[in-house]
A and B are shown apart, each in its own frame.
Chain A
Amino acid sequence: MLNTNMPGTAIDSGEKRQQHSRRKFLTMAGTAGLLTAGLASCQKIGQWFPIPGKDPGDNDVVDLGSGDIGILNYAYTLEQLEAAFYTLVCSNPFNGCTAYERKLFQDIRDHEIAHREFFKNALGSNAIPSLKLDFSSVNFLNRSSVLATAKAFEDLGVSAYNGAGSLIASGDYLLLAGKIVSVEARHAAYIRDLIDYGSFADSTVVDNNGLDTSRKPAEVLPIAKTYIRTKLDASHLPS
């Protein structure tokens, strides 16, 4: 499913709490059909074990596909990234995370999981596998590190959906993308306000026509790939 590397310091300093949160996570993961046998030997949180025969190997290249399927797999890629990130954020709350913040992070996690699972089901047999992810650059116990990563993901997500809209052929899928992007924008504004209250729509994301940022897949994927170990082939996506 997902492989993540936690920084050593984060693992050591938060070990006790992580054991609790891991148990909680296992409950959730169990329902997702993960292999519990493998989890018993799991030494680090975030090392989730693959479903045999479904996961990409280290050298496999995952082709996102073409047309609307390709765009949906592209969105599925980004939602896998976000959902996994917030799952780790919630199971390892950063130092100083307030109860209210924790509640809203759980909301965000569940929205992203809902998005991820939606795309998985909508794509059916056309869905790419679960990608191997890498959050080793994030210190999950450090507020600034987590919030900066969250802000980057949310702003990237908003720009990705905005940029993908014109590449979608089906009105139904365009509407679905519209339903999701405004929720990502709500997240983005909230995370930005946690970092610097009032920066919800500052000039780094909104231009002087009052327009948000949009990015094409070719601009988004190189940024997202920082956190994705599985090799992706996006060459058949509409552009």
Chain B
Amino acid sequence: MNLENIQANLQQADPEFAERTDTRRKALKDFAGFAGKVAITALPFAIGSFFKKAYAGPPPSSVIDVLNFALTLEYLEAEFYKAGIAKGSALIPSAAAMQAIKTIGTHEAQHVTFLRTAITSSGGTPIDLPKFDLSGGSGSGNGPFKDAFTNYQLFLAVAQTLEDTGVRAYKGQAGNLLGTGAVLTAALNIHSVEARHASHIRQMRQKAGFGDAKPWITTRQTGGIGSIVQANYNGEENTVQAGIEIKGINGQDITVSEASEGFDEPLTKEQVVALVTPFFAK
């Protein structure tokens, strides 16, 4: 995921990319100034017009692909919380917990709207709402999470996993949005909201006595959820960043746990797809 590769990809999708780079840079600069002046609610449209200005047409399909990939994950999260909220106090026991789940669910629905609008106004086609199997049973309705809407502990376990995985998924796509200015910033602004969600869900689990999650991810631990979501956390145990070992760095008392907690790790699109495939009914 380096600059050369991305430029190669862009050039493949858009042969005149290199010739247009200067124009595009100017458009990026113009957009930066423009974005500061428009109301925040208008941003998806602004991104669309930015794309048209930069590319004199739709943006490279690779950028639209990234946005549609993000949209897919947001649909999943939004539908998951919608289904949970619909169960009311039968599933979510306290007013504070319900308020938090509603806050998170609202954000996921807003991300869906935002991404759909951004894709459409950029000349792309947003994917439709997929048919999900929230039990994680690939359409059988009988997957490992089939009790998530009657069992609060399982509900929060799935919520934590979706949020932590969402954070990893956005992180893995950042490089594909290098040089896209406001599009990258919007993706980063969604990414950190997912991390705030993850932190809160983890606190909800800790307070309820479900597992032993801290607000951050320690090595590749699931926070007491177990092997069913282990694959979502594999790789988080990394303690080497850009070739620099963080454990005990410069003589500091930084343990393996702390070194891994201090940096969240990305997942590739392929890894994420493999993890969420059971949630699609096909």
Number of A-B pairs, beta carbon distance below 8 Å = 220
- Is B64 positioned at the interface, with any CB of A under 8 Å from its CB? no
A179 to B260, CA, bound (A): 10
Tell whether, in the assembled complex, residue B96 and residue A197 are in contact, meaning their CB atoms are under 8 Å apart: yes
Given contacts A117-B252, A179-B241, A180-B263, contact A214 B185 (CB under 8 A): yes
Tell whether, in the assembled complex, residue B262 and residue A110 are in contact, meaning their CB atoms are under 8 Å apart: yes
Tell whether, in the assembled complex, residue B193 and residue A212 are in contact, meaning their CB atoms are under 8 Å apart: yes
Tell whether, in the assembled complex, residue A165 and residue B184 are in contact, meaning their CB atoms are under 8 Å apart: yes
Of residues 135 through 152 on chain A, the ones whose CB sits less than 8 Å from some CB of chain B are none
Q: Name the A residues within 8 Å of B241 (CB-CB).
A: 118, 176, 179
A14 to B231, CA, bound (A): 47
User: Measured between C-beta atoms, what is the minimum distance from A86 to chain B in Å?
Assistant: 12
A170 to B190, CA, bound (A): 21
Nearest first, the 9 closest Cβ-Cβ pairs linking A and B are: A210-B110, A189-B199, A185-B195, A111-B262, A182-B195, A211-B189, A31-B251, A210-B107, A186-B199
- Is B3 positioned at the interface, with any CB of A under 8 Å from its CB? yes
Of residues 89 through 103 on chain B, the ones whose CB sits less than 8 Å from some CB of chain A are 96, 99-100, 103
Partner of B249, one of A114, A186, A197, A200: A114
- Is B276 positioned at the interface, with any CB of A under 8 Å from its CB? no
Binds A, one of B38-46, B120-128, B219-227: B38-46
Tell whether, in the assembled complex, residue A174 and residue B175 are in contact, meaning their CB atoms are under 8 Å apart: yes
- Is A213 positioned at the interface, with any CB of B under 8 Å from its CB? yes
A32 to B252, CA, bound (A): 6
User: Measured between C-beta atoms, what is the minimum distance from A181 to chain B in Å?
Assistant: 6
Tell whether, in the assembled complex, residue B41 and residue A208 are in contact, meaning their CB atoms are under 8 Å apart: yes
Question: Which residue of B has the minimal Cβ distance to A108?
Answer: B216
Q: Name the A residues within 8 Å of B175 (CB-CB).
A: 171, 174-175
Could you list 7 A-B pairs, sorted by A, with CB under 8 Å?
A111-B261, A114-B259, A114-B263, A171-B175, A181-B191, A182-B194, A210-B114
A172 to B41, CA, bound (A): 31
- Is A10 positioned at the interface, with any CB of B under 8 Å from its CB? no
Q: Using A118-B241, A162-B188, A200-B103 as known contacts, list a sample of 4 further A-B pairs with CB atoms less than 8 Å apart, ordered by residue number in A.
A: A166-B184, A178-B171, A211-B40, A212-B196
Tell whether, in the assembled complex, residue B252 and residue A174 are in contact, meaning their CB atoms are under 8 Å apart: no
- Is B244 positioned at the interface, with any CB of A under 8 Å from its CB? yes
Given contacts A121-B249, A174-B178, A211-B114, contact A114 B216 (CB under 8 A): no
A212 to B185, CA, bound (A): 10
Tell whether, in the assembled complex, residue B261 and residue A118 are in contact, meaning their CB atoms are under 8 Å apart: no
